[in-house]
Amino acid sequence: MNIALIAHDKKKAEMVQFTIAFEGVLNQHQLYSTGTTGKRIMEETSLSIHRFQSGPLGGDQQIGALIAKNDMDLVLFFKDPLTAQPHEPDVTALIRLCDVYKIPLATNMATGEVLLKGLERGDFEWRKVVQEKGGGKSE
């Protein structure tokens, strides 16, 4: 599965700790990330990550393009709800795309854990069916 890892600045340390805890699950999948988040994760783990631009420079949109092509299966986006983000429209667009294409999305560690435990159990086999039928876009 293709998994995106994104974190706002104040959530990057939390994302790193999360990926350390779930490294055994994550290393079985293709990982994508915005620039700085991916760099920090790779510095602290043995995970291989395809890094895009940082979020404010278009990384969110690059991941959004993969979602729109149905090439992303899961998004872990640890948002900071207490800090205004200058690229908030990009964040909103990414979340909207996850809804349109039925991509599981976690915006915090608690939901991320539930999704990765489900992934570990094999609960995401339905994504293969969606991909075989040409996408998961809502009608």
Sign of CA dihedral 6, 8, 9, 15: negative
Whole-number pLDDT of residue 1: 92
Sign of CA dihedral 34, 40, 43, 46: negative
The CATH number given to whatever domain includes residue 77 is 3.40.50.1380
Q: Is residue 14 part of a domain?
A: yes
3 vs 33: CA distance, rounded Å? 8
pLDDT, average across residues 24-43: 97
Three-class secondary structure of residue 59 per DSSP = helix
The pLDDT of residue 38 is above 80: yes
CA atoms within 13 A on the CB side of 107: 10
The residue type at 39:
K
Q: Is residue 137 part of a domain?
A: no
Please count the structural domains in the chain: 1
Q: Is residue 11 part of a domain?
A: yes
Residue-number span of the structural domain to which 84 is assigned: 2-132
The pLDDT of residue 46 is above 60: yes
Is residue 60 annotated as a catalytic residue, yes or no?
Answer: yes
- Which one of the listed residues 9, 60, 90, 123 is annotated catalytic? 60
- What pLDDT digit, counting tens, does each position of 51-102 carry? 999 888 889 899 999 999 989 999 999 999 888 777 777 788 999 999 999 9
Q: Is residue 139 part of a domain?
A: no
Q: What is the pTM of this model?
A: 0.90
The pLDDT of residue 135 is above 80: no
Q: Is residue 38 part of a domain?
A: yes
